[in-house]
Amino acid sequence: MKKLINNPEVVVEEMLAGLEAAHGNLVRKVSDANVIVRKGSPVAGKVALVSGGGSGHEPAHAGYVGEGMLDAGVAGAVFTSPTPDAVYAAIKAVDSGQGTLLVIKNYTGDIMNFEMAGEMAQADGLQVASVVVNDDVAVENSTWTAGRRGIAGTIFVHKIAGAAAERGDSLEEVKRIAEKVVANVRSMGMALTPCTVPAAGKPNFTLAENEMEIGMGIHGEPGTHRDEIRPAKDVVQHLMGKILPDVPYVKGDEVAVMINGLGGTPLMELYILNQEVRAILEEEGIHTYRTYVGEYMTSLEMAGASITLLKLDPELKGLLDAPANTPAFHQR
């Protein structure tokens, strides 16, 4: 195992300390918890957004804490759901009295632990609501999930629901908008290589030199099938062939596109994928309103990528365009 770490047992704590050291003008770490909150939290008069999950997906989730997005990001151990106590600490740190929305990716452990934390907060008299993101069209049920997995489309939920909360919307309204994003966002990914969890010290699966896995999950969960490595055009055609009919996205629609690298994919290759996505959208008569290319939700050092489409309307476009200022996402 080749990694720039000190001790596999404290990688999360040291990562968050480094994040705070780099972006102390935007965020701070909660004492005795692997939780990053927006500097100045709680923000008076504002619904709070809390999300999180296992570490290893950076910049998700702590990288999206700040103006216009999340109020808190909760980090579990690598590829492991955060504990209810950690999520509860996050809620307590950012709740301003206007309520908290929990944005949960659809993994069994995440749902159980976030919901338990929400119940703990409600027992303290706090108002808590939640939304579950399940944008992955690859498989209906998989390792760690009942139903579709939540992957990179979660970032659009953070951005748009975060903008609604920032402008002062109520908890009920922020939840409605978050659910609208969930209903209109779809993703699918693929992997060229495995990744290595620091505590395990070895890859979590194997792929031959000439193999790729289609529909791979962000924790290394199996996809739909393995295939010989093919040109980027063929890969995109397959992924888009699963994504487009699912909402469906049709002629005349406007979409936001996210080409997401899984941690070990050169930006050169992500832009090549984006070119192929744009060509298919143009052929289908679908207008690309905004495009995001980069690493948004990774899987340690895995080589691979995912494609996300979000169907837009005037309401979602306005919120997508709103300012944001976080360690990993800046928009003015």
Catalytic machinery residues: 57, 219
CA dist., res. 253 & res. 249, Å (int): 7
Both tokens of residue 155? 């970032």
Half-sphere exposure of 85 (CA within 13 A, CB side): 4
CA dist., res. 112 & res. 114, Å (int): 6
Rounded alpha-carbon distances, angstroms, from residue 280 to 136, 185, 199, 240, 249: 19, 17, 41, 8, 12
Amino acid at 165: A
CA dist., res. 154 & res. 216, Å (int): 16
Residues linked to residue 128 through DSSP beta bridges, in sequence order? 100
Helix 267-284 with 232-243: angle, nearest 10 deg: 50
Residue 18: helix, strand or coil by DSSP?
helix
Question: How many residues in total does the chain contain?
Answer: 332
Contacts with 7 (C-beta within 8 Å, 6 or more apart), sequence order: none
